Amino acid sequence: MSIKEYGRILGKIHFTIVLEPEHIGEFKERIVETVENAGLKAYVRADGYAIMQNEMVGALGLPHVRLGIVEDKVMVWIRDPHKLDGELIEKAGLGVEEYVMQILNVTRALLDAFNLYREKAKAIYIEYPIFNY
């Protein structure tokens, strides 16, 4: 698969869940635990978390998972999927396929966490591309 195709796939990943405010704190804890269990780190940002292997990924401007929290909404998306760049990924110490698989694996784990809260959700929206990987 080409880098451009990977970028298109990553650009189709979006989740949103709307929870009662009393569930947001426990959901955030579950998210951080889920990310760490998937082998990545959740770096605190003003709007939520940047989810990536290390800060070098962000410094290089590579696509990474973002989790935003606004009032009663928690959203997941891939930041800058069109900036997938093989040379920069190599500078981060990874191969393109390995890097994309990290993102897909953690987003799949996050999707499972979102689904665990489906019963508590006021609303949920999930867009996750279906393909073989």
3-state secondary structure the chain: CCHHHHHHHHCCCEEEEEECHHHHHHHHHHHHHHHHHCCCEEEEECCEEEEECCHHHHHCCCCEEEEEEECCEEEEEEECHHHCCHHHHHHCCCCHHHHHHHHHHHHHHHHHHHHHCHHHEEEEEEECCCCCC
Mean per-residue pLDDT over the chain, rounded: 93
Across the range 14-39, mean pLDDT stands at 96
Domains present along the chain, CATH in parentheses: 3-119 (3.30.310)
Per-residue pLDDT tens over the stretch 50-104: 999 999 898 999 999 999 999 999 999 999 999 999 999 998 888 999 999 999 9
Residue, of 44 and 133, whose pLDDT is higher: 44
Using DSSP bridges, classify how beta strands 64-70 and 73-79 pair: parallel, antiparallel or unpaired. antiparallel
Kindly indicate the confidence band of residue 132, based on its pLDDT and cuts at 50, 70 and 90: low
pLDDT higher than threshold 60 for residue 19: yes
